[in-house]
Amino acid sequence: MSRFLQMHALTVYPPSNPNRDDLGRPKTAVIGGVTRMRISSQALKRAIRTSEAFQTTLAGKLGARTQRLGEELLQHLLAKGSEEDRATTITREVVAAFGKLKPANDSHPTRIEQLAFVSPEEREKAFELAEKAAAGEALPKEKDLAKTLLATADTAVDIAMFGRMLAADPAYNREAAVQVAHAFTTNRVDVEDDYYTAVDDLKQPEEDAGAGFVGEAGFGAGIFYTYVCVNRELLVRNLAGDTDLAAAGLRALTRAVAEASPSGKKNSFGNHVRAAFMLLEKGDGQPINLASAFLKPVGSGDQMELSIEALTDKRTEFVRVYGDTSDEEICLDMRRQDSATLAEVADFAATGLSSPAA
């Protein structure tokens, strides 16, 4: 099968603030000497993981990134009739496999210090093990606990795609099969300020005309270039060779890249967006991020047309100099009547998978 799948997407964002910095303003980056709006890789991956495409299509096959597995486990044991001190002790011993525990005298003694990405199978094993311990069975020794609970491959699609790091036991880290670049605008953006007021509805007419609240919020607009690269071989390995699940995951990923966006200030700006252009490539050659197409920001006029032209021209330049590293490609282009549909693009991403043993 083709090892790499690459996605290049162009998406128009109206005035909005989808991903904020520490001051609450849109994140930015200086590219080609000018300021662009930026959406971080972390924000994009969170939007993908929580998208309808993922949550609906992959229900039951998604992990949870949390410090609070122990709290769920404790409540489960209490509901089963365990005495609280005993249940707390068992819970702490079990969840220690996922990370460093909070101190026993902490207000949340069953939490771990770090966020751990836990698969559905690992969660189920933790509950089963805790129930057995509550019934009187001895827990595995500390050095064997991770072997009992943790896995290097299972059916958690989001962990298989985006990887995880377990500080408590690096042997069970998982290398991410999906790389997501920071998205940025193809055009120059000067972040603007929205000065707004709120009126007190119960203020009487004879009172002053002042607002009940005054505030400001930064915003910007532009066409974002998003780049995603998938190592399809690694994805299948991370899913223990389950090619059907890998295919379902790739379809969901493609839809999410086209449809999902970070939730920041969405109620204020209504920035529900969809990709207007997507180019997908499959092949075994070295992947190429086409961000250099936008070192010079696109100018005024039909900026989508200019962005597509810059992107496809840059790809042609790379092919001319380095050769074509892709074997197949497909394009979704809303300008064209003969464009592939999103369903066809998603099928393209998912076809041709094979298990490592094949």
pLDDT at 210: 81
pLDDT at 291: 98
Give me the half-sphere count of Cα atoms (radius 13 Å) on the Cβ side of residue 349: 36
Q: Both tokens of residue 234?
A: 């690694």
What's the whole-number mean pLDDT along residues 258-286?
96
Of the candidates 272, 274, 313, 269, the one whose C-alpha atom is nearest the C-alpha of residue 290 is 313
What's the whole-number mean pLDDT along residues 102-114?
96
pLDDT at 316 over 80: yes
pLDDT at 207: 81
pLDDT band at 330 (very low <50, low <70, confident <90, very high): very high
Phi, psi at 205, each rounded to 5°? -60, -30
What's the whole-number mean pLDDT along residues 76-94?
97
pLDDT at 37 over 90: yes
Across 55-69, 205-219, 239-253, 283-297, least confident range: 205-219
pLDDT at 20: 96
pLDDT at 121 over 60: yes
Question: Taking the alpha carbons of 231, 236, 342, 285 in that order, is the dihedral positive or negative?
Answer: positive
Q: Are the C-beta atoms of residues 182 and 38 closer than 8 Å to each other?
A: yes
Q: Which helix (H) or strand (E) holds 293?
A: none
Neighbours of 326 (CB within 10 A): 20
pLDDT band at 258 (very low <50, low <70, confident <90, very high): very high
What ranges in 150-195 are assigned the alpha helix state H? 157-162
Across 82-91, 125-134, 137-146, least confident range: 137-146
pLDDT at 31 over 80: yes
Classify 1 as helix, strand or coil. coil
Global pTM reads 0.94
pLDDT at 357: 61
What's the whole-number mean pLDDT along residues 36-63?
97
pLDDT at 342 over 70: yes
pLDDT at 8 over 80: yes
Share of the chain above pLDDT 70, in %: 99
**What are the C-alpha distances in Å from 273 to residues 179, 223, 284?**
22, 11, 32
What's the whole-number mean pLDDT along residues 108-129?
97
What's the whole-number mean pLDDT along residues 12-27?
96
Cite the beta strand spans of the chain per DSSP E: 4-16, 28-31, 34-39, 64-66, 116-118, 178-180, 183-185, 192-198, 213-231, 275-283, 328-333
Tens digits of residue pLDDT in 136-179 = 999 999 889 999 999 999 999 999 999 999 987 899 999 999 99
Classify 187 as helix, strand or coil. strand
At residue 161's C-alpha, the angle toward residues 160 and 166, to 5°, is 60
Identify residue 91 by its one-letter amino acid code. Answer: T
pLDDT band at 95 (very low <50, low <70, confident <90, very high): very high
Q: Are the C-beta atoms of residues 314 and 290 closer than 8 Å to each other?
A: yes
Query: How many angstroms separate the first and last alpha carbons of the chain?
Result: 10
Q: What is the DSSP string of 35-70?
A: EEEEE-HHHHHHHHHTSHHHHHHTTTS--EEES-HH
Q: State how far the Cα of 256 lies from the Cα of 262, in Å rounded to an integer.
A: 11
What's the whole-number mean pLDDT along residues 208-216?
85
Eight-class DSSP state of 301? S
Share of the chain above pLDDT 90, in %: 91
Tens digits of residue pLDDT in 200-209 = 998 888 787 7
